[in-house]
Every structure is written in C-alpha cells, then in structure tokens.
Amino acid sequence: MRDFWYHFRKNRVAVLGAEILVLMTLLAIIGPFFLPYDPFAFVGLPMEPPSLQHPLGTDDLGRDVLARFILGTRVSMAVGFLAAATSILLGVSLGAVAGYAGGLIDQLLMRTAEFFQVLPQFFLAMVLVALFGASYAIIILVIGLLSWPSVARLTRSEFLSLRERDYVTAVRALGLSTWRVIFQEILPNAAPALIVSAAIQFSHAILLEAALSFIGLGDASYPSWGQMLNSAQQILRQAWWVAFFPGLGIFLTVAALNLLGDGLNDMQNPKLRAL
Amino acid sequence: MRGIRSNHLAVFIVKRLLATIPLMTLVIAVSFVLIQIAPGDPITVLIGEGNPSDAQIAEIRARLGLDQPIYVQLWHYFASILHLDLGYSYVSSGPVIELIAARLPNTLILMLPSLLIFTVVGVAIGVYAATRPYSARDNAISVLAVLGYSVPVFVLGQMALLFFASWLGWFPTQGMRNFRAPATGLGGLADLLMHLALPAVVLGTRYLAVNARFARTAMIEALGQDYITSARAQGLGEGEVQRQALRNALLPLITVLGMNFADILTGTVLVEIVFGWPGLGRLMYDAIFGRDYPLLMGLFVIVALGVVLINAATDIIYGLVDPRIRNA
C-alpha cells in the first residue's frame, strides 16, 4: 500500500485527476445542503448574466444557474455512479462465471457479450429510454445493462489466467469452496485491472446520461448537467452562462476520471513504473 | 496460380458476408422484442401516440397482423424489414425509410470529410509522439489526447458555436445552407463549406484524440518488435525503419475504425443537433420531441444493420490488404 502511494504520487497527472474527482464528489455530496437559492424557483429575471446576486446567472425561466449546477453535480454523478455500479456488478459476476466455469457457459456468455458490443449503444439506449420512459431508474438501468460486456470480458480474461496459478490450485486442494476461491483468492488479485475499468465505466456512464439528456431524454424531476445543456441549446446565443458551466462540469469530471484511470493503468505496467 | 488466389479471395469475401446474416437476424429480433415488451400496446410503438379511432386501430391490427400468433407476427416483421418497410412516421406521416434516406446524405457530408482529415492528422500526431516515447513532448500529447476525448462533442460544439460563430462571427451558427441568399455553383459550394467548417472541426477533435492515442501505442509496440531491431542492426536508415513499422502498426486502424463506426455516428448526430445540421441527428431530435416511435425504432434498426455491414466491410478490406487475415 505504501508502495502504491509512492508510485501514485509521482504521476502528477493522475494525482490532478484524483484531486478534481474528490472536489467534484464533495460538491455533489455537501453542496446541495448549502444552495444559494431554491433550484426550482423563479428567483430572478430570465437570462440574467452572472452578477453578485447570481454568480452564474439565471436560466431561461429565471432560475439560479449556480443552484441548479450544484444540484446537477449531485444528480449527474449519482446517476453515473449507480449506472457504473450496475454494469460492474453484472460484468464482474458474468465474467467470473464465464472465466471460472469455462466450457459451454463461457461460450454462451461471451457470444452474448460480443453481440451486445455490436449493437450501437447510444441508439439502443435512445430507443429504450424513449419507449420505457425517461426516469432516472430507467436511465440507470439502461446504461448499466448496455455497458457490462467490456467489464465481463476483462474479468473473464483475468480469471482465466489466475485460476491456473499454483496458489489457486493449492487452496482448492485444501478444500476451499468454489465461492471462497472466487471471492477470497481470485477477485482480490483481479482488483487492480478492475479498478481501472471502473473509472472508465464511471466516466462513460456520465457521458451517456449527459448525451441522452441533451437530446431530450432526461428525467425532468431533477436537473442534471445534460438537461441544463438541453435547455441551454435554445438560448445559446443569448445566454452563454447557461451552457458553459454544466459543460465545464461534465468535462472536468470525465477528464478527471480518464486521467486517473490512465495513471492507474500505467502503474500496473512495471516497465513504465521503473521510469 | 492467379486463378487459385482470386478464388481464395472470393471465398473469403463470401464467407465474411454470410457471417453477417445471423447478426442481422439478431438485430431484427431485438427490435421486434423491444416493440413487444414496451409498455402499452405495440400499436403505440408502431403508429405513435395519435388518437386513432377504434375502426382505424382494427384496420391497422389486421394489416400488421397483430391479431395473429406471435411467431406469425415475428415472421411478418422480418419480411417487412427485408422489404425495407420500417413503417410510417407518426409526425410527418411519410414512410420511415424515405425520411431516413432523405437525411442520410447530409449526415455523410458532415461525417466523412471530417473523419478522413482528422484521422490522418491524428495518426500523424500519434506517430510523432511515438518517436520519443515517455519524453515531455510525448507526455504532453498523451494528456492532450485524454482531454480531447473527455469533452463531449455537444459541449465542445456549443462552446465553438458561441466563440467562433456567435462572438467572432466567422462562421454561420446554424444549418447547412444560407436560404436567405441561395447561391448555386461555386458560390453554393463555398456557402456549404462555411456551414460545414465548424461542426466538422468539432466532430474531428474526437477522431484526432482517439487516433493519436491509438497510433502512438501501436507505433511504440511495432518499433519494439524483433524485425525492427534486426532491420536496424542491418543498417537500415531510420526513415525506412519508421516506414516499415508504420505499415504494420496502422493495419489494425482499419478494424478500429470499423468497430468505432457506431461511436463516430453518435458523435455526428450530437453535433448535428448543436449546429442545426439537417441530417439524421436533427431527424432523431425531432422524433424524440414528437414521441415518433416508428421513426426512432427505424433509426435504431438502420444504424444497427449499418454497423454489422460496416464491420464486415472493414474486415474484407483488412483481408485485401493483409493476406495473413484472409488465409487464416
């Protein structure tokens, strides 16, 4: 662990990513308790530029952009997190089963994963959310159900190589149950690769929710960054601030996750670590 | 000899094309299942949320065979899609396939030049970065590439529109042509290019970033191969060494482009919405706004079938360029 921090701190870009991510997470968790205005109330004139009263201006209905941005941070990150958690849970379980069981089950699961990867994800998500209704539950479920294959394939390949290791053979000979072999012996050793994949899943889920909301398939009960961009599109030339801040939020969070994932990935490559 | 070789090639192409049939069947089956499990009556999905009279509903049911057993319906659905019958748009009341066909060329005008130009530039940047791996220059390019594909195209598009079109006034903000002063011939082309420039560049940043990254990794890997070391040992000039490595590093790019086709199209439709470009993205946006389910389903089916075909096409091209693949 000390070794991990030693190498991690040397990767300045990954550290920057981690710092931005921590800040955005704090904003998402604590921010909504300190909102300057009710994010749903009409507290100013429509499209007021940034001022002392409204630091990020007001939107087309006279709602405070800062308040909506802070709530949007919570919504976008929570949706991204839950969707990524869904896809990781599904992907790790199915990948572990495929890699550990092998044979026909493996074949079947991997063919299914490949088929899912051929389907155009955004267009399928668009149809599903349009048909089943744009609620956060549906959006989270759709993103999760469409994103598991890459996690499953990664988990499977880790399992395929780890299950043949001597220490696994040894604990099996000691009579450990299959579940304990999987959860106590193999999964912890697959963790580094899976953590990188989790960062990518998280950033991908935030992007997909933002894109769906941007094309008009957002859940209007709470504002997300993507929904703010959707309403900003109509008034873009009159009120740049309505688009700029949520766009910046998406960019910073997604970039932070990608930089962090990249850095962690490099650390697993001993050749690069020596440098 | 020549005859045998071209025979191999024909067999390879036919095999690859036949392999698309099960995938296409699955795609059509998925869209059929979607219509069946969607909440409410399939009829809503098939004709949209109008208020048809009972007599109209009965007529549509009979025409679409909705009163028949499910396997007969599935059969009808397959048959209609094979006839390119994707139903009727609820909002614009034309056949879905005609609406899509009318918009597709505009989407391609936006997508293809941008894809071509920025893929080449991206690869060049990646190869340049790979000449000195892990140097300050290479690290800077890598970080910029990550930032480049972390910006969603619609965020970048809105900012570019604000800055270059709205504030500086260098480019038109919306659309594909200036309808207030229609021009023909060369003037028309110039007008089109002015409208195209901004959305094409915004779309291109993504290809630039993704391909720079891909080319960099592939090139570093290729330069580490034994045949390169041996070529260097035999005194081959560095320029020639790079050329050899480049050829082998870039072959997989064909496959990567094919696999990313759905992504590329997704980026294009999102950029279209920002810039009011009259392509498939605009069509989709209006269809979502009008809850035009037949049109949305049609877009999904066409794009999904397109992805299967493009993947087959890139595999075939790869096979034509690299004999190892087609003889495997």
Asked if pLDDT for residue B106 goes beyond 80, the answer is yes
Residue of A nearest to B46 (CA): A131
Asked if pLDDT for residue B328 goes beyond 60, the answer is no
Helix segments in chain B, DSSP class H? 2-18, 20-37, 42-47, 54-64, 70-82, 96-130, 136-150, 153-160, 185-223, 226-233, 238-259, 261-275, 280-289, 293-321, 323-326
Q: At A61, is the secondary structure helix, strand, or coil?
A: coil
Q: What is the DSSP string of A158-199?
A: HHHHHTTSHHHHHHHHTT--HHHIIIIIIHHHHHHHHHHHHH
CA–CA dist A265, A271 (Å, integer): 12
Which band of pLDDT confidence, cut at 50, 70 and 90, is reported for residue B189? Answer: confident
Facing residue for B143 by CB, picked from A13, A244, A251: A13
What's the confidence (pLDDT) of residue B47? Answer: 62
What's the confidence (pLDDT) of residue B181? Answer: 66
Q: What is the DSSP string of B227-252?
A: HHHHHHHTT--HHHHHHHHHHHHHHH
Percent of chain A residues topping a pLDDT of 90: 43
CA–CA dist B106, B176 (Å, integer): 9
Residue A227's nearest CA partner among A245, A246, A240, A252 is A246
* Residue in the structure block whose two tokens are 């994932």: A261
> What average pLDDT does this structure show over B297-322?
88
Asked if pLDDT for residue B2 goes beyond 60, the answer is no
Inspect the interface and report whether the beta carbons of B39 and A133 lie closer than 8 Å: yes
pLDDT, tens digit, for every residue of B4-36?
Answer: 566 778 888 888 888 888 888 888 888 888 887
Facing residue for B262 by CB, picked from A120, A207, A275: A120
CATH number at residue B142: 1.10.3720.10
B33 min Cα distance to partner chain A (Å): 11
Bridge partners of B97, per DSSP, are none
Furthest C-alpha separation in chain B: 84
Facing residue for B150 by CB, picked from A211, A229, A254: A254
CA–CA dist B187, B260 (Å, integer): 35
A220 and chain B in contact, CB less than 8 A: no
Inspect the interface and report whether the beta carbons of B155 and A237 lie closer than 8 Å: no
pLDDT, tens digit, for every residue of A148-168?
Answer: 999 999 999 888 888 878 888
Q: pTM (2 decimals)?
A: 0.89
CATH superfamily, domain at A2-41+53-273:
MetI-like (1.10.3720.10)
CA–CA dist B88, B77 (Å, integer): 14
Inspect the interface and report whether the beta carbons of A254 and B308 lie closer than 8 Å: no
pLDDT, tens digit, for every residue of B199-249?
Answer: 999 999 988 998 898 888 888 888 878 888 888 888 777 787 888 788 888
Burial class (CB in 10 A: 0-12, 13-18, 19+), B230: exposed
Q: How many residues does chain A have?
A: 275
For A1-5, A112-116, A118-122, which range has the lowest pLDDT when averaged over its residues? A1-5
A126 and chain B in contact, CB less than 8 A: yes
C-alpha torsion angle, residues A100, A105, A110, A113 (rounded to 10): -110
The sign of the torsion formed by the CA atoms of B87, B112, A210, B215 equals positive
B234 versus A247: which is more confidently predicted? A247
Residue of B nearest to A13 (CA): B143
Asked if pLDDT for residue B3 goes beyond 70, the answer is no
Inspect the interface and report whether the beta carbons of A123 and B266 lie closer than 8 Å: yes
CA–CA dist B120, B162 (Å, integer): 28
Question: What is the DSSP code (8-state) at residue A52?
Answer: S
Which band of pLDDT confidence, cut at 50, 70 and 90, is reported for residue B266? Answer: very high
Token pair for B317? 């091209």
B1 min Cα distance to partner chain A (Å): 37
Domain total of chain B:
1
Q: Which of left, alpha, beta for B84 (phi over 0: left; psi -120 to 50: alpha)?
A: left
The sign of the torsion formed by the CA atoms of A260, A265, A270, A271 equals negative
What residues make up the domain containing B200? 2-326
What's the confidence (pLDDT) of residue B1? Answer: 46
Q: What is the DSSP string of B78-119?
A: HHHHHTT---B-TTT-SBHHHHHHHHHHHHHHHHHHHHHHHH
Q: At A62, is the secondary structure helix, strand, or coil?
A: coil
Inspect the interface and report whether the beta carbons of A251 and B152 lie closer than 8 Å: yes
